[in-house]
Amino acid sequence: MSKDELISFVNIVNNYNDIEYLFSTIVCSTSPTLAKEKVSSLLTFSNDNRNLQNTWEEYKEQIKDILEVKFFELKKNEKNTIVLFYNEEELRNTIREEKNMKFLSRFGYSKEMNLEEYLCLLSKRFENQCPHEIGIFLGYPIEDVIVFTECPNKKCKMAGYWKVYHNLEEAKSIFKKYDEIKHNIIRMIIRGTKPVEILGSNVIANSMC
């Protein structure tokens, strides 16, 4: 992604109205999830940034009808709203993987819970701080989540979408894939595609073909 492309993109989205700007924020920030390449994405809406929190509150039901993924508000206060955008079946399967479930059981999660109950517990644990198990919900490798949880001061091999302590080459490949998806979306917007045309369609997936 060139500097000129980034400048063009910023100029375009800064001239969007509030709803278009909200759509552009969602589609760019969560594009790996929208493309079905990532189980979920976390996004914070703040009124410090173009009144995004208020715009989200006003239009979230409309967005729910457009998106092909689900979303769940993990935390909301007067300053911001933290939302998890997720692929429902993939998230459920990820949580219930044996090694992930064993880790999550430390924090009160159980196999008997359904997906909504998992998310509600995650939200409750979000009240005071971002809980370490969020990495599981975001699809990070369990080995890296465990190290970050138990040894947060340990030096990582690389920091990107998560802190990598194992399987560096595999993580690099995943990070590159996610970045390519985001760059493709940015280029589509530069060429004139509206964010609402990208949301809830196969445009993102097709752009990777």
Whole-angstrom Cα distance, residue 36 to residue 93? 14
Residue 206 binned pLDDT confidence (cut-offs 50, 70, 90): low
Whole-angstrom Cα distance, residue 99 to residue 163? 19
Write the pLDDT tens digit of every residue in 45-101: 999 889 999 999 999 998 888 888 999 999 999 999 999 999 999 999 999 999 999
Q: What would the mean pLDDT of 7-33 be, rounded to a whole number?
A: 95
Cβ atoms within 10 A of the Cβ of 78, count? 6
91 within 8 A of 40, measured Cβ to Cβ = yes
Residue 209 binned pLDDT confidence (cut-offs 50, 70, 90): very low
- Pairing status of strand 70-76 against strand 158-159: unpaired
Residue 203 binned pLDDT confidence (cut-offs 50, 70, 90): low
Tell me the CA end-to-end span of the chain in Å, nearest whole number: 18
pLDDT at 204: 53
pTM for this entry: 0.93
Comparing CA positions, the residue from 181, 152, 147 lying closest to residue 167 is 147
Number of domains in the chain: 1
State both tokens at 95: 């949580």
The domain containing residue 36 runs over which residues? 3-207
